[in-house]
Amino acid sequence: MKTKIVKLEQLEHNENELKEAGQILRDGGLVAFPTETVYGLGADGLNSEASAKIYSAKGRPSDNPLILHIADIKTVDVLAKDVSKEARKVMEVFWPGPLTVILNKKEVVPYGTTGGLDTVAIRMPSHPVARELIKVAGVAVAAPSANTSGRPSPTTAQHVLQDMDGRIDMIVDGGKVGIGIESTIVDMTGEIPMILRPGYITKPMLEQVIGKEVRIDPAILSKEGMDGIRPKAPGMKYKHYAPKGELTIVSSHNMDNMVQTINKLAKEKLDAGYVVGIIATEETKDQYPNGVVKEIGSRKDQVSISAGLYSVLRDFDDAGVEFIYSEGFEQDDFGQAIMNRLLKAAGYEMIRV
């Protein structure tokens, strides 16, 4: 299969390309497209055969359910039932945006899309290209992140091409995405809303709108949790986002200590002849004399860090880096989502100094 790439920088000048992408989706094909979080790999989510193609293109385990992307909040009632007042409120406030809501599914949603579950994940993205594409396609677009299973999620069309060339019909290139890590997932089917995957929409933001406590799935917070308890989002149990090099996070409240420790660890590996990468920030990048140093973003702007994370991990893979040392980040609200991805990539290897 030849993968067609179309650049969509200005929507109003690209109606024909969007129509073509929409037609591919209606015909049961695969189209990768940008969202505000990461690039998605789309298929008609109500067509089991089409969503089955997603699993084979990604090499994704079939028990890992897909998110249905919609462009109009009314579509929720086509796909889901027993939608509580609180769930509606959350969708009205945070959509379109980086929030996925788990609801009880209606019969139209095939088990092939939900990995056999009776619940369905739904999200209305805010990225203008994603919204237009879903509208033009006129179907609920099932879309996981457009990476090969186990690789970092793609934040540019180039990343998608690296993983999906020859495996999908089309890549819609809308430039670099904004947030760079996947949407928050909140399960609204139970008495107490539960965050199954942390993201840009945080627990306090949800609590403020819902007006009561929101819990975080304990299984996703630590390695101990992951070993002991089964996470409620099936995808969270896999070792995701793993770079080829061995990643260690060095965390400290004292920047100087952190930098010194990273330099010491890096030097040991360099002296032993290994290729070493360092994940630095704008504030610290000049303090690392050795190794392949990549600036991920600025500590003053958390979104710059989330937006840079996956791309840096991919760069290190391409550079054949064997050991990676990353600075640690604060685990406050959105910081928790960033550290969740970084910790998973590190297999929970973190040194506190």
Positions touching Mg ion (CB under 5 A) are 145
Closer residue to ligand TXA (CB): 131 or 232: 232
Contact flag: residue 183 with ligand TXA (CB under 6 A): yes
Contact between 103 and 91 under an 8 Å Cβ cutoff? The reply is no
- Candidates 32, 71, 79, 121: give the one binding ligand TXA (CB under 6 A): 121
| Chain residue whose CB lies nearest Mg ion | 145
Name the segment binding ligand TXA (CB under 6 A); options: 79-87, 182-190, 286-294, 296-304.
182-190
Question: Which residues inside 37-56 make contact with ligand TXA, applying CB under 6 A?
Answer: 37-38, 40
Q: Which of 312, 311, 301, 286 is nearest to 335 (CA)?
A: 301
Q: How far is the CB of 143 from ligand TXA (least distance, A)?
A: 5
- Candidates 110, 225, 234, 335: give the one binding ligand TXA (CB under 6 A): 234
Q: Where are the alpha helices (DSSP H) in 116-254?
A: 128-137, 157-164, 203-210, 223-228
The encoded tokens of residue 293 equal: 């140093």
- Candidates 6, 117, 221, 292: give the one binding ligand TXA (CB under 6 A): 117
Contact between 203 and 333 under an 8 Å Cβ cutoff? The reply is yes
Beta-carbon count within 10 A of 211 CB: 8
Question: Which residues inside 281-320 make contact with ligand TXA, applying CB under 6 A?
Answer: none
Q: Where are the alpha helices (DSSP H) in the chain?
A: 15-26, 48-58, 76-79, 85-94, 111-114, 128-137, 157-164, 203-210, 223-228, 255-271, 302-318, 333-345
Q: How far is the CB of 159 from ligand TXA (least distance, A)?
A: 13
Instruction: Give, as one character, the DSSP assignment of residue 169.
Output: S
Contact flag: residue 233 with ligand TXA (CB under 6 A): yes
Q: How far apart are CA 99 and CA 88, in angstroms?
A: 13
Q: How far is the CB of 207 from Mg ion (least distance, A)?
A: 26
Residues that bind ligand TXA (CB under 6 A): 35, 37-38, 40, 64-67, 100, 102, 114, 117, 119-121, 123, 125, 143-145, 182-183, 185, 196-197, 232-236
